[in-house]
Every structure is written in C-alpha cells, then in structure tokens.
Chains A and B, each alone.
Chain A
Amino acid sequence: MSLGTYALRRTLLAVPVLVGVSAITFSFVHLVPGDAIDVLAGFQGVDPEARDALREEYGLDDPIWRQYLAWVTDVLALEFGESPITGRDVGATIAERLPRTLALGVAAWLLSLAIGIPAGIVAALNHGRPADELTRLGALAGIATPNFWLGLVLLFIFGVHLGWVRVTPPDAGLASLEMLWFMVLPTITLGTASAALITRLLRASMARELQKAYVRTARAKGLRERTVVLKHVLRNSLTAVVTVAGLQLAILVDGAVVVEQVFAWPGMGQLVVDAVDQRDVPLIQASVLVIAVAVVLANLLVDLVYAALDPRVRYR
C-alpha cells in the first residue's frame, strides 16, 4: 500500500470515530439536568406553556436521536447552527476563536520541541554527569509546576514589575510583531510541561539506544560522533517522542483554559467551559467536533511521521 492510499484510508477511518465522539457528547450533554431555556430564564421558572413552545422552537422536544440526526445533517452541510444562548452563529464564533488557539498551541508545541529535543540529547549523551542531573531536575520542575502558577509568576515579573510585556493582548493583528511579543509568556507557560515531558522521554529512549550494538559498530567504523548521534541514534529514539509530541499537539489545540484565563487570551478552552456551563448544546457539539478532528489529524500525522522515520513500519 502506498503512503497516499494509507493516508486516505486512515482519514476515512476517522469518520466513524468523529461520529462516535459527537454521538457520545450529544448524549452526555442531554444527561445534564436543565437546558438552554433554564439558563436563559436564570433557573427561575418558565411558564409551562411558554416552555413547551420554546422547546419546540429550539427543537428540544424531539427524541435525542432525531436531534442528533438533524445536527449531523446540518454539519455535513457545514452548518453549525445558531447558539440558543447567544443567538450568534456557532461557526462564526468558533472561527473567531480557533485561530487564536491554534497560534498559541502551535507556538507552544514548537517551543516544547525546540527545548525538549536538544535537552533530551544533552542529557542522554551526558548520562549520569552534572549536565544530565541538571536537565533531569529542570524537566522534573517543568512537569511539576502548575501552569497556572507559572503564568501568574511570569506575568507579575515580566509584565507588572519589569514592564517588558503587556499583561493583556494588544489591539493588533495575530501576525503582528506586537502580538508575537505578547505571546512569548503564554507560549512559555503552555509549552513548559510538554518540553519537560519530551526531554524525559527522549533522554530515556536515547540512553537505551546508545547501549545498542550498532552504535558501537558505528563508532568502531570511525564515524564522527555527531553523525552517530544525529543520524542514527536520534532517528531511532524519536519514535517514542513522536507519539507523545503528536498527542501533545492535539491537547494544545483543545485550548488551555488556565493559560487563556491568566493571559486573557480569547481561545477555544474558555469557550468550551462557558458553553458547558450554559448548556449551549450546538456550541459544545461544534467545539468537541473541532477538537476531535484535531486529535484525529494529529494521530494521522504521527503515523505518517513514523513511517518516514522507520521504513520497517509497513502499512497494513
């Protein structure tokens, strides 16, 4: 099977996954007591007749499976509907938030790779030496630090005391220098734990790899250490990292509620939390779908990168 066919097949296989995820979310949301009408009425009683009329208007009186089918039909036409809570178009709301989340998520992900991979290599090559201990300590601290706390500390040091960055996003385009400068702190906050995780993983898998016979052979052949490490050992050690890094990318896309709150960043995370609180079913559904798509894509990407890294992986 060629890589292209393989990718296509994986993409098609994702469809039942997406259907399953959305069906499960749909039924879970309906298990929660109270609906959009209660939220709009402030949980303070609605005249039964008016309630029935409203339920009909919002399609809430249909059986769940029919509501779900109606929703799926709309989504296939890329119609996400209107939020009963805000009265605004769900697709437009997500379109407003998603770029922000993607920008921050991808920046944090790149940062985690840019720090995690070199740090993991350094640690593995200096196994048991101070550089290794130091990296391990740093990684441990990175994983253990709550990003909420880290974000606030960075905000107070660099925003309030030193005044180097703004504490709320500037009034500028996403690609502007001003905005990129602002994104430094949230990126560090969001990327630290992932960087730490990648460092630890790479260090472990590389240390194992360095013990293997082919490394000794390569060195005995007189290959430069640089070639041995970067061309042979690193490539073989990366498979574990790719799995995790791929999943991390998916996790970053669903928005980091805490980081968004601390830096007043209008992303998906806060949107989803608000939507759940307000029983905003169309918005919850659409957001979950977007996140599910991101996870599926990330997984697909991981599989493709695997194949590129390790030709022994055959597509079945």
Chain B
Amino acid sequence: MDGSEGHANAGTRRAFLGWAGATATVGLAGCITAIEDRIDADSEGAQQIQRGLEAAGIEPPVETTIYANAENSERVRWTQLVQHALNETGLFDVGFESLEWSQYEQLCFNMAENEENALVSLDVSGGWDPHSYVEPLFHSANHAPAGLNFNHFAADGVDELIEDGLAEDDPDRRREIYAELQRELVEHVPVSPIRFGESVTVYRQDSIDDWRQYPLPGSEYESVYAPYAGVSTDADGGELVGDAVAVVSNTDPINMHDTTSNMATGLLYEGLLAVDFDGTPQPQLAADWTQLEETTYRFDLREDVNFHNGETLTAEHVRFSLDRYEGTPRENDVFEWYDHTEIVDETTLEIHLTEPYGPFETSVGLPIVPLAADEDDGVDLSATPVGTGPYEFADRSDGEYWDLERFDDHWFDGDDDVPAEAPIETVRMRIIDEPASRQAALETGEIDLATGVPTESVGGFVDDDSFAVERTVAGQFDFLIYPRYLEPFDRTEVRRGIDRLLPRTRILEDVYDGYGSVAYTTVPPLLEAFADPDLEDEIVAEYFE
C-alpha cells in the first residue's frame, strides 16, 4: 500500500506509509556490528519496565516478537537493534521476524483486532501540516483497519487537541495546540518515534545544472520548473531522464492513491495555490486570495491560462474540480473542509468551508482539471492526464516509462528567477523498482538523476565529483508501535521504559549513515513553524535523561 500526498499542488491531509523506500541489495547491505555498550539493567528505563511488570504481576522475561517487512533492509536492521536492546535488559525475550509486504500489511492493520503480541515498525510521511501526521495515527476515529491508528489508541484529550488544531486558523494558537498535543502524546507513549528522515536526490553534474529537492514525497520533480517557488533547472540537451520507483497507477486526482502518480503529474497539474520548497503557500492559478470570513476565501484567477486540451481556465473549472471529489474514495480529502464554490464572475470565486480549517492554505492547491473530464468522449484523466501545468503528457509504457513534454502555451511570463519558457524540453521518468539497478543506471548515465538511492549507497556518490547529492529534511519518521491492548504493554510505564531504551542514535548512525535526525516527537523538523527545538529538548530532559 502506498497512500499519497504531500504534493506541492495537493492537500496535506493524508499520511501514507512507506515500505520499500530504501531497500538494499544482497551483497551490498551492511551488517549490524556487535554491540559493545551493554545496556545497564539498572538504567532508569529498565527500572521503569521492572516496576510496570511488578505492578502487573508478570515475571520477566516477557516474550514478544518484533516485526519488519523484508523489502526494507534498513527497517529490518533497526528493528534488530531494538530487539537486541530489549533483550539486553533481561526483562524481555524478543524474537525477530520479517514478513513480505502484503503479509506485513495484514499484520499491521489487524494487530489490535487479533490482539497480536507484536512490536511493529513502520514509517509514515505527511505533508506541510502537523495534522497530516497526528490525525491518522492517533485519533480514535481512525482505528485500523479503517485507518492508520494500528494499536487502537484512544485518549479524549488527544482527540480534542487534534480536532482543535484542525479547526483553528490562528497560526500562533495552532502552534500552542500542537505543542500541547506533542506533550500529551509523549505522556501516553502510544508509539515511539525513532528517526526523522531525509530526502536525498543524486544527480549527474554533467547533465543537470542545479537541482533543488522538494522535501515531500510525490513532488520530486518540482525542481524542473516551479515558477511559484522561483525554481527552475536546466539539463544537458534539454532532456531529463530520472527515475520513478514504482509504476504510475492512476493519474486522475479523484482516484490518485500513490506517490508515484503524484510525482508523475506534479509538473502537469496546477492548483489555486502551491506550497513552495520552504512550506509557504504561494499563488499558482490564483493571482491573489483573501480570507473574507472565517469560512470564506475569495480567489482571483489568473487570466489567459490554457489547459493542454485548449480549454481556458475559468472559475467554473475550479468548482468542477473540487465538486467532483464527492462520492469518490478520496472524498474526505476535500469534503472534510469544503462546502461549495460560489462563482462571482468568470475569474473570481469564493470557496466556502463547512467550518474553520487550519490547514486550508496548504490543502486547497488540488489539481484543477478541464471540463472535458466530465464528458464521456472527453479526456480520461486516469490514463492521460490534462492540466494547466508547464508540461503535458506525452507518452507512457506501463511499467517502463512516463514521458512529459514542455507545454508551450503555459501562462507564466517569466521573472528574474525563472525564465518564461521551461529550459528542459522533455522529461522521462524511467520506472526502476530495484534500488541497485537505479544506482547502476545512474552510474552508466542512462538516467540523469535518482530520487530513490538507499542512504547506505549515497556515500559513494558524495565522494565522486561527477555526481552531486542534494539532501533535505523530509516530512517522514520511523516509529515503533506497541501492542498496547496486551499486558504488560498496556502499562504506560512499561512503554515509557522501552521508549527510553531505544538505541536511537545508534540506529541513526549505523543504519542510516547519519542521514536524518533522532525523533522523540511526531512533528518532523521540516515543519519549522511547529517543530519547536526547545520543546524537543524539554521532552528529552523530562523523559529521557
């Protein structure tokens, strides 16, 4: 499974689970080194666990199993480090098991219902708003299998804060709410965050001028040409060939459910607003916008914007594009906040919300599509997408490549940072599942850039002058899920004790080669407005030192 989101042009409600993100290869994978620093059985964490076990009347060692999915070698390695750390205390007898993704998925989604005695490891990615990380994982309305709250965590205080954060549109007040929410979550320890991830792009210096990486998955190719963010790139011969790590599944926004389809259409669709590389909403198809009331926003559209099929953008297109989510699997993305669009005139519209919505400006940039998508003999967006973006769909071969070519009728007139015409003429995303093959294709020059190189292989490219490595903090974290429906994991002090014993620094250094940072909370540092380093320090001082 691979949900979507975090797109520069799309909403940020959704979180999605990562799985094979960085698979290593036989022979290239590193090994876990012997652990020299033994964990002290008298440590504060171990004592906490001990107290919890005594209170529950359980004689150690507690038997359990920690799981990872086999495709993700980095995850396999970090769970083994956790297994080792827990067994070192003598309080646990933890076994390790790796499963294929589809079996693993079943385990995760049904762990609470089946009361599995399992510690489960995952990673989650979200968007530019903290809501996209906390709501799916911790709100009691999202218990698995219908949501991502895998261990059926429920706390009234947490639910309330999540809802308050969503409904609040004052930025300062939102910051306070999310800070309080972080404290609450650390207090309850439903899961343990382990590491915040980084996104890495490796590219050939001789073929690409300068590449700025968009931090969220699904928007890897924004750097090609993003006038809204003042970013554009040139490539040798005007042709860019990059990688895609999976097939392009469905490119109709109302059915789009995977990051690859999001990525494949990033240059093709545009929204009213787009979130730039630093997380600030910028006008895209809207020339300007204002908040009229708590639940009403007015947008003035750019004039003379053409779709790839020749239609000219009007307010009606916006209404159509938002309304058509109704009754689709992705309805909640939009109708969680959207009520209706009122057309003022051809290029002016008002969007009315059902209630005040904090992440509105990072959510409203949904793809605007042509009216022909509604006609039986019109365009089929699921296979051949049409938008207003600087590139249009050119060709595809299922499982092999996805081609775009420059749209010469794009509305942008150029400014000091970005030329009126995109320098790159054609973009090909070549679908390569296997990370080692991606690396090989990059080395032989068959692709100019790779977005999915495993962190352990990046070092080799850093040392090679022919390649450039672009890294940014990402909206992603690894975490460990406790079976908190089972004794003794139902006890907060047992979970907190384990939380304290987790070898985060070691995982960061040994498994991820130092890429990323250790995580104690669930708001990635990418979200600068919400990730308060002081709060993180405070939490570390209170619970971990």
With both beta carbons as reference points, the residue of chain A lying nearest to B380 in the complex is identified as A87
User: Are B332 and A41 neighbours in the complex by a CB distance under 8 Å?
Assistant: yes
Interface residues of B in 214-270 (CB under 8 A from A): 246-247, 249-250, 252, 255, 257
Segment at the interface with B among A46-54, A207-215, A220-228, A234-242 = A46-54
Residue among A37, A39, A149 having the largest count of chain B Cβ atoms under 10 Å: A39
State A39–B146 Cα separation when bound (angstroms).
Answer: 11
- Is A306 at the interface (CB under 8 A from chain B)? no
Chain B residues, Cβ within 8 Å of A47: 331-332, 335
A22 within 8 A of B: no
0/1 string, B418-454, CB within 8 A of A gives 1? 0000000000001111101100110110110000000
Cα A163 to Cα B328 with chains together (Å): 49
Whether A266 and B399, one on each chain, are in contact in the complex, defined by CB atoms closer than 8 angstroms, is yes
Instruction: Tell me whether B290 is interfacial, beta carbon within 8 Å.
Output: no
Q: Is A74 positioned at the interface, with any CB of B under 8 Å from its CB?
A: no
Q: Residues 14-32 of chain B: 1 if any A CB is under 8 Å from the residue's CB, otherwise 0?
A: 1110000000011100000
> From residue 316 to 337 of chain B, which have CB atoms closer than 8 A to chain A?
327-332, 335
A261 at the A/B interface (Cβ < 8 Å)?
yes
| B293 is an interface residue with CB less than 8 A from chain A | no
Whether A44 touches B14, Cβ cut-off 8 Å, given contacts A33-B109, A39-B1, A264-B437, is yes
Tell me if A159 and B147 are in contact (CB < 8 A).
no
A20 within 8 A of B: no
Q: Is A59 an interface residue (CB 8 A)?
A: no
The answer to whether B440 and A44 touch across the interface, beta carbons within 8 angstroms, is no
A97 touches B399 (CB 8 A): yes
**B249 & A278 in contact (Cβ 8 Å cutoff):** yes
> Interface segment, A7-15, A191-199, A268-276, A307-315?
A268-276
Q: Counting chain A CB atoms within 10 Å of each CB, which of B109, B110, B146, B447 scores highest?
A: B146
Q: Is the pair B436, A43 in contact by a Cβ cutoff of 8 Å? A: no
Q: Which residue of A lies closest to B401 (CB)?
A: A171
Q: How would residues 135 to 175 of chain A score, 1 for a CB under 8 Å from any chain B CB and 0 otherwise?
A: 00000000000101100110110011001001111000000
Give the residues in chain B near A45, CB-CB below 8 Å.
Answer: 141-142, 146-147, 332
A267–B247 alpha-carbon span in the complex (Å): 12
Query: Which A residues between 254 and 284 are near B, CB-CB below 8 angstroms?
Result: 260-264, 266-267, 270-271, 274, 276-278
Q: How far is the CA of A93 from the CA of B397 in the complex (A)?
A: 10
B241 (CB) vs chain A CBs: closest residue: A168
Decide: A44 and B398 in contact? CB cutoff 8 A.
no
Docked complex Cα distance between A97 and B430 (Å)? 16
> Which residues does chain A contribute within 8 Å of B437, judged by CB atoms?
152, 155, 167-168, 261-264
The reply on B3 being an interface residue by CB < 8 A is: yes
Of the A-B pairs whose beta carbons lie under 8 Å apart in the complex, a sample of 24, sorted by A's number, is: A40-B257, A40-B329, A42-B16, A44-B14, A45-B142, A47-B335, A50-B327, A53-B327, A85-B255, A87-B252, A87-B380, A97-B398, A148-B26, A152-B436, A155-B436, A156-B440, A160-B440, A167-B441, A168-B430, A168-B437, A261-B433, A261-B437, A264-B400, A270-B399
Q: Report the minimum CB–CB distance from B404 to chain A (whole Å).
A: 15
- Which B residues form the contact surface with A (CB < 8 A)? 1, 3-5, 14-16, 25-27, 101-102, 105-106, 109-110, 136, 141-142, 144-148, 246-247, 249-250, 252, 255, 257, 327-332, 335, 380, 382-383, 397-400, 430-434, 436-437, 440-441, 443-444, 446-447
CB closest residue in chain B, given A57: B327
A96 within 8 A of B: yes
Query: How many residues of chain A are within 8 Å of chain B by beta carbon?
Result: 51
B27 near A149 (CB under 8 angstroms)?
Answer: yes
User: Which residues on A sit within 8 Å (CB–CB) of B335?
Assistant: 47
CB distance from B110 to the nearest CB of A (A): 7
- Shortest C-beta distance, B236 to chain A (Å), equals 17
| A85–B246 CA distance with the chains assembled, in angstroms | 15
* Shortest Cβ gap from B154 to chain A (Å): 15
Contact between B257 and A41 (Cβ–Cβ < 8 Å)?
A: yes
A87 close to B27 (CB less than 8 A) = no
A127 at interface (Cβ–Cβ under 8 A)?
no
A residues within 8 A CB of B383?
Answer: 86-88
Cross-interface CB contact of B110 among A33, A261, A264, cutoff 8 Å: A33
| Residue from the list B26, B331, B444 in contact with A146, Cβ < 8 A | B26
**In the complex where A42-B14, A266-B400, A266-B431 touch, is A277 in contact with B328 (Cβ < 8 A)?**
no
Q: Is A118 an interface residue (CB 8 A)?
A: no
User: Please, how many angstroms separate the alpha-carbon atoms of A77 and B303 in the complex?
Assistant: 50
Cα distance, A262 to B26, chains bound together (Å):
12
Q: Which of A43, A160, A276 contacts B443 (CB 8 A)?
A: A160
In the bound complex, CA of A45 to CA of B149 (Å): 11
A32 interface contact, C-beta 8 A: yes
Cα distance A264–B249 in the bound complex, in angstroms: 17
Say which residue of B109, B142, B380, B444 sits within 8 Å of A163 (CB atoms). Answer: B444
Top 6 closest A-B pairs, CB basis? Answer: A42-B3, A87-B382, A266-B399, A40-B329, A41-B329, A266-B400
- Contact: B249 with A85, CB < 8 Å? yes
B110 / chain A contacts, CB cutoff of 8 Å:
33
Bound CA–CA A88/B381 (angstroms): 10
- In the complex, what residues of B have CB within 8 A of residue A88's CB? 382-383
Shortest CB-to-CB span from B170 to chain A, Å, is 27
Who on chain A is nearest to B101 by CB?
A: A277
Q: Which of B16, B106, B433 contacts A264 (CB 8 A)?
A: B433
User: If the complex has contacts A42-B3, A45-B142, A266-B398, are A152 and B329 also in contact, measured as CB distance less than 8 A?
Assistant: no
Q: Which A residues are in CB contact (< 8 Å) with B247?
A: 270, 274
